Amino acid sequence: MSVVIRLAFFVASVVIGLRLFSLLLYVLFGVLVAGSIGLCATALFANVLTMRIFDRRPLADIGLRLNADSGRNLLLGLGFGGAAAALMLLAPLIAGTGHLSPRGNPAFSWTSLVFYLVLLWVAAAGEEMIFRGYGFQLLIEKIGPFATILPVSVVFGFAHAFNPYAAPLGILNTILWGVILGYAFYRSHDLWLPIGLHYGWNAVLPLFGVNLSGLTIDVTRYYYRWDLLPIWSGGEYGPEGGLLATIFIAGLFFALRKAPVKAQYAAIARVLNDLY
């Protein structure tokens, strides 16, 4: 019962945080700021509040400790996530079914590029703290990884159903991404590996001039033009809405299984040890 109360409080804190932070920032600054800073503020609010009230533990205990293994896992995540996204978009370029075309009125600036890359980092960290943070880790310890990862991944996928141009295949691919990110936590027992994977993928896509989960982020002087049907390219949603992404996401899972991940001690497990 104590675990159920903790999970219910955490979920309620996320809902309240989204109301307090994301909606306010959306009204003031728009969707990108709300979906990054607002999301991260919600994640910090929910995790810190729940851990301090119930367990009196620091935020680092959800897998955010700073050490050499954390840095190694973060770099692994960045490399694997970024490489998967880059290969997915380079393959059509090499095959002649994808093309980089100049924008009509490019508004490129290095300041804007850095700004968007920072926002994408904040958004990735926020999503991971919400979907692979305190609540997820309690479930991992209580009911096991297989009973936890898939249900949470389904919620993760449908949380993107309200993005612009969202379609069933895009939601399915996001669910698959949730499985990979959940598995990444299970392998590393920290959040640095999934944050790295999440950010590496998200940061590379706009650099090629494609939409990211339905959002257009103009940070380059060109856009990606496809000679493939939307079922493959993802159409207006971006590559994550197509079968090409399904193939590379699946490949990333098998690559991650062989990655030299440094497993760390799951500090959140102490919570259940104290309860039982």
Residue 28 located in a structural domain: no
Residue 182's H or E segment, with its range, is helix 168-188
Residue 145 located in a structural domain: yes
Residues 19-35 have a mean pLDDT of 81
DSSP assignment, residue 37? I
pLDDT at 267: 64
Q: Read off the pLDDT band of 168 (50, 70, 90).
A: very high
| Better pLDDT: 214 or 268 | 214
Residue 23 located in a structural domain: no
Beta-carbon neighbour count of residue 258 at 10 Å? 7
Mean pLDDT for the chain?
90
d(CA 144, CA 8) in angstroms, rounded, equals: 18
pLDDT at 155: 95
| Better pLDDT: 10 or 267 | 10
**Three-class SS state of 93:** helix
d(CA 123, CA 115) in angstroms, rounded, equals: 12
Q: Are 203 and 210 in contact (CB under 8 A)?
A: no
Q: What is the pLDDT of residues 171-181, one digit of tens each?
A: 999 999 999 99
Residue 130 located in a structural domain: yes
Rounded to whole angstroms, what are the CA distances from 242 to 153, 154, 174, 178, 233?
18, 18, 11, 16, 5
pLDDT at 172: 96
d(CA 18, CA 41) in angstroms, rounded, equals: 9
Residue 207 located in a structural domain: yes
Residues 22-46 have a mean pLDDT of 86
- 226 - beta bridge partners? 98
Q: Are 9 and 54 in contact (CB under 8 A)?
A: yes
Q: Read off the pLDDT band of 272 (50, 70, 90).
A: low
**Three-class SS state of 113:** helix
Residue 92 has pLDDT above 50, yes or no: yes
- The domain in which residue 98 lies consists of 66-275
Among residues 68, 28, 64, the alpha carbon closest in space to that of 48 is found at: 64
Q: Read off the pLDDT band of 24 (50, 70, 90).
A: confident
Joined together, the tokens standing for residue 274 give 């104290």
Residues 172-198 have a mean pLDDT of 96
Residue type, 191: L
Helices 145-158, 134-143: axis angle to 10 degrees equals: 150
Residues 254-258 have a mean pLDDT of 93
pLDDT at 276: 45
Residue 26 located in a structural domain: no
Residue 83 located in a structural domain: yes
Residues 104-108 have a mean pLDDT of 66
Q: Tell me the whole-structure pTM to 2 decimals.
A: 0.92
Percent of the chain with pLDDT over 70: 94
| Better pLDDT: 137 or 109 | 137
Residue 22 located in a structural domain: no
Q: Read off the pLDDT band of 266 (50, 70, 90).
A: low
Q: How many domains would you assign to the chain? A: 1
d(CA 194, CA 76) in angstroms, rounded, equals: 10
Q: Read off the pLDDT band of 270 (50, 70, 90).
A: low
Q: What is the pLDDT of residues 56-89, one digit of tens each?
A: 888 999 999 999 999 999 999 999 999 999 999 9
**Three-class SS state of 38:** helix
